[in-house]
Amino acid sequence: MVANKASPCLPLSLPKETGMKQIELKAFAKINLSIDVTGKRPDGYHEVIMVLQQIDLYDEVTVSCHEGPSSSINVTTDSSEIPEGQDNIAWKAAKLMREIFPDKTSGDISICIKKRIPAAAGLGGGSADAAAVLLALNSLCECDLSVAELMKIGVKLGADVPFCIMGQAAKIKAMSFVGEAISTCALAEGIGERLTPLTPLKAYAVLLKPDTAVSTAEVYKNLDIGAIERRPDTASLLEGLKNMDFPMVESAMYNVLEDVSTKKHPVIQEGRRWLQGGASHAKVMMSGSGPTVFALTPDKGSAEAIYNRIKGKDYRVFLVRTSF
């Protein structure tokens, strides 16, 4: 059971202090429709080819900029799952923007995270929070960066941050990114920073988060690239998304990290079995390096049936949409 703290965020309906600017953004989670690992670079990073899809599970991130002589960065959260200080990736995002734009980002920066995305779950929750901070400061401090420029900054924080920036930008009506190549679904290459927007998948997913933590670094360390026997069919996956052909999409999906994570964390396989039981028409796969697994279906009724069968078990379970 996750322990939540009382929310420290200032409600936006309350009067704001003089000299304060504030914005609240939804930091959306992601699932991987595929992950393929093709090599390892000299700097230790792995070369990947993967398809990422944003979902409507999100954290609420409130960023406030306060005029004044001090220049602190403060992070607060209602969750005990993530740190509140310099170890929080949202803090690092604000620090990075301050290093690039010291004058425009002067004064105190306050970040409040209402956490809904499970931490260390393979859903990009931390990356989503960091992306929201970059987008918020770009707007509040009038840095005037494009999405592409923000993504170049974001990759310094993590491989999933550029996609989270792109996906969130596609959903923020108050910010204009006219003419930019953005989408809530993308092909990611390199270490994840080279993004090609794709047609978003229209489907429902039931997420199951086992009560275990998975180290992404350890998963990649234990991955033997030469021994990978099965890989996603990326070309067919892209074709299926383009043509909105769900059967083609689900048959092409695969995550090469799943075998590595499952061997060390058998509870992931147990979660898979819960999702597959009575779910013959749903595609079941692990997201990221785990431990979250998800059942994907184009039918809302099927997704609800899976969710209702599993909720109340010893897992965190979410029913989400990929198109919203």
More confident residue, 11 or 229: 229
Average pLDDT over residues 34-55: 96
- Clarify whether 30 is annotated catalytic: yes
CATH number for position 243: 3.30.70.890
225 pLDDT tier (thresholds 50, 70, 90): very high
Residue 239 to residue 250: CA distance in whole angstroms = 12
Residue 314: per-residue pLDDT: 86
Residue 1: per-residue pLDDT: 42
On whether residue 3 sits in a domain, the answer given is no
Please tell me whether residues 136 and 172 are part of one structural domain: yes
- Clarify whether 59 is annotated catalytic: no
Range of the domain at 178: 20-197
230-282 pLDDT tens trace:
999 999 999 999 999 999 999 999 999 999 999 999 999 999 999 998 655 78
Average pLDDT over residues 108-124: 97
Q: How many domains does the chain have?
A: 2
CATH number for position 39: 3.30.230.10
Average pLDDT of the residues of the chain:
93
Average pLDDT over residues 295-315: 93
On whether residue 15 sits in a domain, the answer given is no
Please tell me whether residues 208 and 190 are part of one structural domain: no
On whether residue 13 sits in a domain, the answer given is no
Using the 3D structure, point to which of 178, 197, 216 is the last residue of a domain: 197
Please tell me whether residues 214 and 192 are part of one structural domain: no
Count of other CB atoms within 10 angstroms of residue 14: 7
Residue 110 to residue 62: CA distance in whole angstroms = 8
Catalytic hit among 30, 114, 209, 283: 30
What are the phi and psi torsion angles at 95 (to 5°)? Answer: -65, -40
On whether residue 89 sits in a domain, the answer given is yes
Please tell me whether residues 46 and 91 are part of one structural domain: yes
Catalytic hit among 92, 115, 160, 283: 160
Q: Is the dihedral of CA 41, 42, 43, 44 positive or negative?
A: positive
- 3-state SS, residue 146: coil
On whether residue 31 sits in a domain, the answer given is yes
Q: How far is CA 159 from CA 30, 109, 129, 192, 267, in A?
A: 13, 24, 13, 5, 26
Residue 2 clears pLDDT 70, i.e. is over it: no
Residue % of the chain over a pLDDT of 70: 93
Using the 3D structure, point to which of 141, 170, 197 is the last residue of a domain: 197
Please tell me whether residues 132 and 49 are part of one structural domain: yes
The predicted model scores a pTM of 0.93
139-150 pLDDT tens trace:
999 999 999 999
Using the 3D structure, point to which of 197, 214, 245 is the last residue of a domain: 197
